[in-house]
Amino acid sequence: MRLEAAAIERTAGLLDRETVERAVDLLLKCTGKTVVTGVGKSGIIANKIADTMASTGTVALFLHPSDALHGSLGIVTPGDSVIALSNSGETEEILALLPALKARGVSLIAIVGNTDSTLARNADVVLDASVDREACPLNLAPTTSTTVALAVGDALAMTLMQARNLTAADFAANHPAGRLGKRLTLKVANLMHESPNVAPGASWLEVVKTISKHALGAVSVVDESGRLVGIVTDGDLRRTIEKTPPERFDTLSAATMMTPQPITTCPETLAVDALDTMENRPSQISVLPVVDDSGRPVGLLRLHDIVRRGL
């Protein structure tokens, strides 16, 4: 690990500002896509670099040189940029691609361990990813060299991300299933249930039946105009019944059991903000009424639904 860490530190010093700026400029001005290619271990690193770029605002994909030589080269079109990874700079499959890439007029960035190689001499920009030795005891297995190449690719991707002013919301848009994506895109409207409503004068038995029917743990109490005036949760119902003599059950109504003027949210609120409203308080809320601009309930949001979606 220290060998690889030291190699990355060394590479950071080898890469001169002008060369890096040329590489970034080529990629920023690319009117097509960025195609990343490599063979063997370098191919695995190239694939990861392409994925990182694609998720951070650069249209990119991985192309295996062997596949390219057998027809997949068709995905490379004028206006594209190609990033080729090769520690030796003499990888046969990549060198075989060079005439076709030149014919298509694409720009070529080489990430190589040998800046005097054939690949380097044919590239528009050469990024020096050379290492003194591999971490392998035999100095054979690609270890340090692939780590350095990955670091260079990640640095390119992050610099492009910064140059494009990519925001957290932009990043989340490319990661809708990830936790960050959910936190920045998932709204209350995506999780809420239809609001079960009762009138203030509804009997305790009617409240019980409505809660049981919808199985949300609560009902909204609405006035004659349909506006929310309170909420009756399972807990409200249980506590009221516990302290009320059985002979007075017929006097209980939604109005006497409800929590008046409850905390609410709206459909367009981010689910993560609703979660914060429910949790960060002295007494945690498990059900949150969702109201429209007129104060009419349009749904109920359960803490369980938010947690289940991975927020």
Q: From 57, 99, 104, 52, select the one nearest 80 (Cα to Cα).
A: 104
Dist. CA 204–CA 214, nearest whole Å = 16
Dist. CA 198–CA 202, nearest whole Å = 6
Percentage of the chain lying above the pLDDT 70 cut: 98
Which CATH class name applies to 188-308?
alpha beta
For residues 170 and 58, the answer to whether their CB atoms sit within 8 Å is no
Dist. CA 57–CA 129, nearest whole Å = 24
Dist. CA 301–CA 192, nearest whole Å = 5
Residue 183 pLDDT level (bands cut at 50, 70, 90): confident
Read off the pLDDT of residues 201-229 as tens digits, 9 standing for 90 and up. 999 999 999 999 999 999 999 999 999 99
For residues 129 and 145, the answer to whether their CB atoms sit within 8 Å is yes
Through-space distance between the first and last CA atoms of the chain, rounded to whole angstroms: 34
Q: Dump strand ranges (E) for 71-193.
A: 81-86, 107-112, 125-128
For residues 87 and 113, the answer to whether their CB atoms sit within 8 Å is yes
Residue ranges, comma separated, of all CATH 3.40.50.10490 domains in the chain are: 2-166
Dist. CA 163–CA 23, nearest whole Å = 13
Question: Which tokens in the block code for residue 24?
Answer: 């970034």
Average pLDDT, the chain: 93
**Considering the domain 2-166 in this protein, what is its CATH number?**
3.40.50.10490
Residue 177 pLDDT level (bands cut at 50, 70, 90): low
Position 90 pLDDT exceeds 90: yes
Residue ranges, comma separated, of all CATH 3.10.580.10 domains in the chain are: 188-308
Dist. CA 184–CA 171, nearest whole Å = 9
For residues 134 and 144, the answer to whether their CB atoms sit within 8 Å is yes
Cβ–Cβ contacts within 10 Å for residue 129, how many?
Answer: 30
Local structure of residue 294 (DSSP, 8 states): T
The predicted structure's pLDDT at residue 178:
67
CA angle (213 as vertex; 207, 218 as ends), nearest 5: 50
Element (H, E) at 243: helix 234-243
Side-chain-facing half-sphere of 250: CA atoms under 13 Å: 1
Read off the pLDDT of residues 108-122 as tens digits, 9 standing for 90 and up. 999 999 999 999 999
Element (H, E) at 162: helix 144-163
